Homo-oligomer: A and B are copies of this chain.
Amino acid sequence: MSVNQREIGRRKLLGEIRRQQRVPRIDLSELTGISRATVTTITAELLREGLIEEVSSDLGEKDSKRGRPKVDLKIRGAARLIAGAKISHKTISLVLLDFEGTQLAAHEAELEEAVMPTEDMTVVLADLLEVLARKMGLSRADIAGFGLGIAGIVDAPRGFVHWSPSLDSRNVMLGDILGRGLGIPVFIDNDANLVAMAEKSFGLGVGHNDFIVVTIESGVGMGIVINNEIYRGTRGCGAEFGHTKVQLEGALCRCGQRGCLEAYAADYALTREAMMASGEAAEREVEDILRAAKEGDEMAASIVSRAGRMFAMGLANIVNIFDPELIILAGEQMQSSHLYAEEVIEGMRKLIVQVDKAPPEVVVHKWGNLMWARGAAAYALEKVSENALLEMAENVA
């Protein structure tokens, strides 16, 4: 068996044990297609490295042949400590997970600045990770990996940020910079991808191999899961759903271009239209506009209706391209409910290619900031697992 094969085997087995949560050693060969002898060798290595552990089987049965209690294998929670965080406009949410993915602690804080130089971000994160770890009587140095989700355009494999509303400069090797500053491995991704990661790991995407997550916060984001992996594109500029164009030379977008979906469906688009329509200089809150629309204000209703129809059109384009089995509309803001409305989803269904087969399922998942942070931690967990296996390969070699 080549080194390559052994490494693939380790990855497969650790992944399968994680998926199964608890699994008798004897089932792993069947589940993975790896021979029993190899399963025995590799699980012994994983036990020795402390990445997995034996626990007595739930049934408490005894092994009939050997007369000793039956055991299951599981991920060893204490093996690694993982942190995840999500930076929103002026808030940050953090979670601490064990290696099993169990949440140990959480923390939320206000940020003094919405836009930061990397030095300030390092200082803020160092403090907050220390606060988080202390909640478990540990310190920042005990954290094996930290996943960070930020808005913007992120080349995740390189930890490179093309642009982010949270950073004061473009083209930043943020992963490396924070990694050095914090003294722990840091994994960066776009916030929408991390929502997709959360849905895939412990959300509504569990059990689905191909699905799309559309996130609605102040902007419109997307995460694409193909073959159980996040699809990120070549330059880290994929899944920019909010900047797909829904109108040739249309409304001006925050990005400087015209006709982007966001320029019709995002919060600022609604408040801008309401301001222009009323001729008032004061900005109206989105909640006000939505309430007015419900109460029969025609102008407000027209603004909200167009946002919905544009969103339906953008969503239909995604279905016409990906034909996914599932679309998850994820967001924490109740105020975006007009975009989740049944008439919007029905509008999307009318704009997709019509075949005699049910259109993709659309589900709405409203959740809090902590779930985004958990997605970031899930990404870090995946990376830390990979790194643990690479270290192990070096130890063995």
Q: Does A146 contact B (CB under 8 A)?
A: no
Contacts of A351 in B (CB 8 A): 245, 257
A171 closest partner in B (C-beta): B356
In the complex, which residues of chain B have a beta carbon less than 8 angstroms from the beta carbon of A222? Answer: 321
Chain B residues lying within 8 Å of A259, measured Cβ to Cβ, are 313
Interface string of A351-370 (1 = CB under 8 A from B): 11111110010000000000
> In whole Å, how far is A192's beta carbon from the nearest beta carbon of chain B?
12
Q: A323 contacts which chain B residues (CB < 8 A)?
A: 232-240
Q: How near does chain B come to A160, taking the closest CB pair, in angstroms?
A: 10
A241, A325, A350, A353: residue with the most chain B Cβ atoms closer than 10 Å: A353
Interface status of A64 (Cβ within 8 A of chain B): no
Bound-state Cα–Cα, A354 to B46, Å: 45
Q: Given contacts A248-B246, A248-B309, is CB(A35)–CB(B1) below 8 Å?
A: yes
Set of chain B residues within 8 Å of A320, measured between Cβ atoms: 237-238, 240-241, 243-244
B-facing residues in A110-129 (Cβ within 8 Å): none
**In the complex, chain B residues whose CB is within 8 Å of the CB of A1:** 35
Question: Is B34 a contact partner of A2 (Cβ separation < 8 A)?
Answer: yes
Task: Give the distance in Å from the alpha carbon of A172 to the alpha carbon of B246 in the complex.
Answer: 34
Judged by a CB distance under 8 angstroms, whether A134 is at the interface is: no
B210 near A163 (CB under 8 angstroms)? no
Please give, as numbers and ranges, the residues of chain B lying within 8 Å of A395 by CB-CB distance: none
Contact A244 B4 (CB under 8 A): no
Q: Which of B4, B33, B233, B319 contacts A2 (CB 8 A)?
A: B33
A266 → B minimal CB distance (Å)? 15
Q: In the complex, A367→B325 CA distance in Å?
A: 34
Pick the residue among B34, B232, B355, B356 that contacts A5 (CB under 8 A). B34
Question: Is there a chain B Cβ closer than 8 Å to A101's Cβ?
Answer: no
Decide if B353 touches A255 in the complex (CB within 8 Å).
yes
Q: Is A162 in the interface zone, CB < 8 Å from B?
A: yes
What is the bound-complex CA distance between A356 and B322, given in angstroms? 28
Q: A237 to B355, Cβ gap below 8 A?
A: yes
Residues of B within 8 A of A233 (CB): 322-324
Contact status A234-B257, CB under 8 Å: no
Asked if A226 meets B231 with Cβ closer than 8 Å, knowing A29-B2, A34-B2, the reply is: yes
Closest to A248 in B: B313
CB–CB B317/A245 < 8 A: yes
Q: Is A8 an interface residue (CB 8 A)?
A: yes
A319 to B244, CA, bound (A): 9
Q: Is A62 close to B, CB under 8 A?
A: no
In the assembly, what is the distance between CA of A4 and CA of B237, in Å? 38
- A residues 304-344 near B (Cβ < 8 Å) are 309-310, 313, 316-325
The interface residues of chain B lying within 8 Å CB-to-CB of A244 are: 316-317, 320-321
| Residue of B35, B170, B255, B321 touching A318 (CB-CB under 8 A) | B321
Shortest distance between the CB of A232 and any CB in chain B (Å): 8
**What are 23 inter-chain pairs, A to B, with CB distance below 8 A?**
A5-B33, A153-B353, A162-B355, A162-B356, A226-B227, A226-B231, A233-B322, A235-B323, A235-B357, A237-B320, A238-B322, A239-B321, A240-B353, A241-B321, A243-B353, A244-B317, A245-B317, A248-B309, A248-B310, A248-B313, A257-B351, A317-B317, A321-B321
16 additional contacts, CB 8 Å, given A244-B316, A245-B351, A255-B354? A2-B35, A5-B33, A5-B34, A5-B35, A8-B33, A170-B356, A224-B321, A227-B227, A233-B322, A234-B323, A234-B360, A236-B323, A237-B320, A238-B320, A238-B321, A238-B323
